[in-house]
């Protein structure tokens, strides 16, 4: 039996009914059962300002502790203007400081981007991956996970209704689980 692995889920959208949040929940529902998903809120994080590091805001401390306690990180994000949302970039910056004490360092990660459009958040996906390389986060390379047409994939209860996407996400979840074990072994 596989060891339980705690996954910090970072959703790059603050909207309660965001497609990214629905997609993250769909991934958690079809992923291998030994992955325990912890949705870590980023909406309350004060903007990163290095001047605050002497006495960091409590929400920074709490956020860093939750991510530090995870075995891996799943980022699920929309695309804003061909890049990642500012709130997600802020969370990455808060977690990466103080310098030399990044909560992201060496944590296995996966990125899922989405968009109501056909491209599926391609720009946000690669924008985020660029930061993860610098943060030393071994990241799932394949499958590249861009989910286009996301607005048509959920019912009124937020349940995924697109069967081919469910199958794809099931495979993605297994690849992520395998990658976590590879990097934590």
- Express each pLDDT in 123-141 by its tens digit: 999 999 999 999 999 999 9
**Model-wide pTM > 0.85:** yes
Nearest Cα residue to 139 out of 173, 113, 112, 110: 110
Q: Is 3 helix (H, G, I), strand (E, B) or coil?
A: coil
Determine the pLDDT at residue 59. Answer: 98
> Average pLDDT, whole number, for the chain?
95
- Cβ partners under 8 Å of residue 138, min gap 6: 106, 108, 109, 179, 183
Q: How many CA atoms lie within 13 A of 84 on its CB side?
A: 24
Per-residue pLDDT of the chain (185 residues; tens, 9 = 90+): 689 999 999 999 999 899 999 999 999 999 999 999 999 999 999 999 999 999 999 999 999 999 999 999 999 999 998 889 999 999 999 999 999 999 999 999 999 999 988 887 889 999 999 999 999 999 999 998 999 899 999 999 999 999 999 999 999 999 999 999 999 97
Q: Which residues pair with 151 in a beta bridge?
A: none
Domains of the chain by start residue, with CATH: 5-184 (3.40.50.360)
């Amino acid at each position: 039996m596989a060891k339980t692995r705690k996954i910090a889920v970072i959703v790059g959208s603050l909207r309660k009914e965001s497609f990214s949040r629905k997609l993250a929940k769909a991934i958690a529902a079809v992923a291998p059962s030994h992955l325990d998903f912890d949705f870590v809120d980023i909406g309350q994080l004060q903007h990163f300002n290095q001047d605050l590091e002497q006495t960091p805001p409590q929400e920074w401390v709490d956020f860093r502790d939750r991510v530090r306690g995870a075995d891996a990180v799943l980022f699920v994000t929309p695309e804003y203007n061909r890049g990642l949302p500012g709130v997600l970039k802020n969370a990455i910056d808060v977690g990466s400081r103080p310098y030399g004490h990044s909560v992201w360092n060496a944590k296995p990660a996966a990125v899922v981007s989405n968009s109501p459009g056909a491209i599926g958040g391609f720009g946000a996906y690669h924008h985020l991956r660029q930061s993860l390389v610098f943060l030393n986060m071994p990241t799932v390379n394949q499958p590249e996970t861009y989910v286009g047409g996301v607005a048509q994939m959920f019912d009124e209860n937020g349940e995924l209704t697109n069967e081919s996407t469910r199958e794809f996400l099931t495979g993605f979840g297994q690849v992520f689980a395998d990658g976590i074990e590879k990097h934590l072994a």
